Structure 1
């Protein structure tokens, strides 16, 4: 009884730490909002650095852009792995899973998304250099906007997206087929889960350049959508409608622009 209670307490601690990290990332993103007036003296705790990350890319270092995208990835993508983390914790009664393995699994997953933050930051810097982004990291070019919408919409119907989602829909089957023992094994499984998640969601993440890279409403909506899309009961009914909606938005964007020039 004491052993079971101890394991339950450790699971609680793991979840508390997980949600504290996610909520901290969202709090940081909120404090980075360009129109937020921070009280005097808050610079002493580093909030001025957070605010500096949402300046236009031309005014921000590459490391600052990577830090911004990493925070976005933690806030938006960490919740989407919750079903897989729950499945892993349900296996802690076996000798293969452990609380330290939980941390290793999550670390491997997030490392993939931190890796994604590097090319995303480079892309933002390149687009800003071309003058294709406004100060809020939002596309100011109609054809760029339409291309991003069409790319994300078309990718919803791709075989790669389908294959990645199939793995996300059944975490238990993933662990049964890909199980590796120990901390290093948990870390490698996290990397695999991260790669699968990246295969599902990279095109949707790039829509940040349509809505604005510091648009909290977009981040929240995208997080909910990507989380639901990984749930087998809901995800199978979301992928195609989202794809059609994005393709329709791309067509509408181009049509509106053409009408303006008639």
Structure 2
């Protein structure tokens, strides 16, 4: 029986089919969580002493992309694991390589998003002449970024993209491709929906400190809750409230935001500046 035919028999709604697949593909899910754990360990080591608060310098392109790709795997693999498990259960090709190719395609899309983010940051820095410095417009731009992200949480586009992430079976049926190349393409397409769902949260991470382990963990947690919590509206509205509060506090009283490194406050570790 083909994968689409199996899907029609089980239904395409919600997270239940994916969570059922997790129980059948525990080894695969454990492997993805292990890769995420290694990614967190490596990311923490790389970010040690790098947090300079909002709009932290991104370093060279090669260094940033390396950190970004590993960080995305660490942040996203736990929440995408049920989808990968469901793909593995549906595919007729029982090779352990196919679900890993699906996960790899997912990460490739996020690598592309990282490249876009780096290009935008570098372009703004060159054109603006340091306008994102904290004592210039940086504080206000960071606050507005968080407020925009809060608004996006309640937008129709966010709802559509999150729906794809929260209905893995429906996504797989609509995007199904056979073979290993198909696995890579499907993973990349699922990653594109995830970027559409989470780009504002990732922008918030840049506004809070992209080299901060604490803020990275918070954003990863919010993403995981939105994708897996049974109460969808609770998750999205809760995330919007968190971002709204952070945006207001960042502008009005940044010193009271827990874990925020305020540039020029003496909180930043002494280190050599990174090349942009």
Partner of 1:179: 176
Where does structure 2 lack aligned partners over 5 or more consecutive residues? Answer: 1-23, 51-55, 255-276
CA contact (8 A) 2:142 2:208 kept: no
Shift of 1:140: 7.6
Shift of 1:57: 3.1
* Secondary structure at 2:230 match in 1: helix
Which of 37, 45, 50 aligns to 1:31? It is: 45
Which of 120, 123, 137 aligns to 1:123? It is: 120
Higher relative contact order (CA 8 A, sep 6+): 2
Moved more, 97-106 or 183-192: 97-106
CA spacing shift, 1:26–1:187, aligned 2, 3 Å: same
Structure-2 separation of matches of 1:16 and 1:241: 29
Shift of 1:161: 0.7
Partner of 1:91: 90
* Secondary structure at 1:141 match in 2: helix
CA spacing shift, 1:213–1:164, aligned 2, 3 Å: same
Partner of 2:64: 65
Structure-2 separation of matches of 1:182 and 1:133: 49
Partner of 1:21: 35
Shift of 1:189: 1.0
Shift of 1:152: 0.7
Structure-2 separation of matches of 1:11 and 1:248: 39
Which of 198, 201, 204 aligns to 1:201? It is: 198
* 1:230 aligned onto 2:244: no
CA contact (8 A) 2:33 2:77 kept: no
* Secondary structure at 2:69 match in 1: helix
Structure-2 separation of matches of 1:245 and 1:15: 29
CA spacing shift, 1:249–1:11, aligned 2, 3 Å: closer
Where does structure 1 lack aligned partners over 5 or more consecutive residues? Answer: 1-9, 37-55, 258-262
TM-score between the two structures when normalised by the length of structure 2: 0.71
* Secondary structure at 1:175 match in 2: helix
TM-score between the two structures when normalised by the length of structure 1: 0.74
Q: What is the CA deviation profile of residues 31-79 of structure 1, one whole-angstrom value per residue up to 9, with x for unaligned ones?
A: 123349xxxxxxxxxxxxxxxxxxx638x32221222222222211222
Shift of 1:245: 3.4
Which of 153, 161, 164 aligns to 2:161? It is: 164
CA spacing shift, 1:82–1:16, aligned 2, 3 Å: closer
CA spacing shift, 1:140–1:217, aligned 2, 3 Å: farther
CA spacing shift, 1:103–1:133, aligned 2, 3 Å: farther
CA contact (8 A) 1:57 1:128 kept: no
Aligned length: 224
* 1:152 aligned onto 2:152: no
Partner of 1:110: 107
